[in-house]
Amino acid sequence: MFDAVRPVLAAMGDKVFHVGERAGQGATVKTVNQLLCGVHIAVVAEAFALAAKVGVDLGVVLEIMGGSAASSWMLKDRGPRMLEAEPEVTSAVDIFVKDLGIVLEAGREAKVALPLAAVAHQLFLATSGHGDGAADDSQVIRSYTRMNGPAG
């Protein structure tokens, strides 16, 4: 079946993968992607919160981490926007509230514990609950600022 539709799928995108025989497995791969993205964004914000609290220049932290083993696509993409007060919105906080909710539901259905996804979801929810749901998802860092107070 997959081989029969491959030409149609290839016309829609250059990366086509066969991930399994059962319905829903492709959706699970998308869910795994959103889990990783949401947790990556939240952990970048957490790292920046620690550095900011002790007075380290976040621009320097971003430059160092961007070239280290800790680097990730999300760090390089969202990190600079975390340093802006009102960055352009490329993906809203509320999108990750929704997506991480889907992740947690998938975990419940599969009976898989996802504690890091749950914490990330709570941080995005807190950010949205403070009126920042339409802000760029990088602004989950605002929840850390509210929890930890101003930078040192």
User: What's the token pair of residue 151?
Assistant: 């930078």
State how far Cα 26 lies from the chain centre: 19
**Known catalytic membership, residue 30:** yes
Which of the following is catalytic: 15, 30, 98, 111? Answer: 30
User: What's the token pair of residue 128?
Assistant: 């949205």
Q: If you write DSSP's letter for every residue of 46-113 in order, what string do you get? A: HHHHHHHHTT--HHHHHHHHHTSTT--HHHHHHHHHHTSSSPPPSSBHHHHHHHHHHHHHHHHHHT--
Rounded CA gap, 147 and 127, in Å? 11
Active site residues: 30
